[in-house]
Amino acid sequence: MGDATPASPEEPVLVRVERSVAVITLNRPRVLNAVNRPMAHGYAKALRAADADPRVRGIVVTGAGRGFCSGADMAVFNGTPDEMRSFMVPREEMPHHALRLSKPVVAAVNGPVAGIGFAYMMGSDIRFAAKGATMSTVFPRLGLVAEYGLSWLLPRLIGGARAMELLLSGRTIEAEEALRIGLVHRVSEPGEVLSDALDYTADLVANCAPSSLAVIKEQVYADLERPFEAALDDAISRMNASFGNPDLAEAIAARKEKRPPAFADPKPTSQA
């Protein structure tokens, strides 16, 4: 399959399921997938639906056309301050919501990323980028602040010094530098980033228990905020519980029988 998800002019967000992976595509290619309210709402709704769907074990997010997400639609900034404030989405629809899903979210960054698009990218657990894809926080160059909790998240993911420089400068970097500083995990050839991300995610969810993925994701983000001893206490409690997990017995049996594991489907989650 290629990188392009068939575009529909009617829908700002497209979803398909392939190999137990929901592929969510931001679909406003004529404006490099700039975010308006319908897109923000549609993206949050698609994430919730994918997390609640027992057919889905992982999620890949990408953009239609030649961009991932160029930020907020500039038409937003033509209004009054009150009109701009009305663009603010509810807390449960903000980019960090993806971090709270039970399933792994992988970004396939196929082109330019800025502003809220940068926050969408960082709200993914794992990030692939096409060679030459550009990325910018951009906020200070628009007279804005570090938005959507990036001043908390970015230092925890790439370190305080690097986060400070990217947030203060708003400069544009390319995928190769992003890889070097830990902003993305892998750089793909142009035109291959979506297929690479999908292959990775499909392999991940085929070989790892959904129950384990959900708990590990919860552990990592929760442990960003607590001391080691608290994290260790939580890990010990979860370890003891995991020894009774049917997925453990299935994994051991599969290894003995030299076959792929047949892990239980993920438990449905609420879309509320």
Give yes or no for a contact between 133 and 177, defined as CB atoms under 8 angstroms apart: no
Predicted model pTM? 0.92
What average pLDDT score do residues 16-20 get?
97
pLDDT, tens digit, 9 for 90 and up, residues 125-138: 999 999 999 999 99
Residue among 105, 65, 68, 225 nearest 155 (CA): 225
pLDDT bracket for residue 272 (50, 70, 90): very low
Residue among 37, 78, 67, 189 nearest 136 (CA): 67
Q: What is the pLDDT of residue 77?
A: 79
Q: What is the mean pLDDT of the chain?
A: 92
pLDDT, tens digit, 9 for 90 and up, residues 167-202: 999 999 999 999 999 999 999 999 999 999 999 999
Residue among 84, 110, 100, 129 nearest 26 (CA): 110
Quickly tell me which residue has 């160029």 as its tokens: 70
**Which letter does DSSP use for residue 134 in this model?**
E
Report the relative pairing of strands 58-63 and 105-109 from DSSP bridges.
parallel
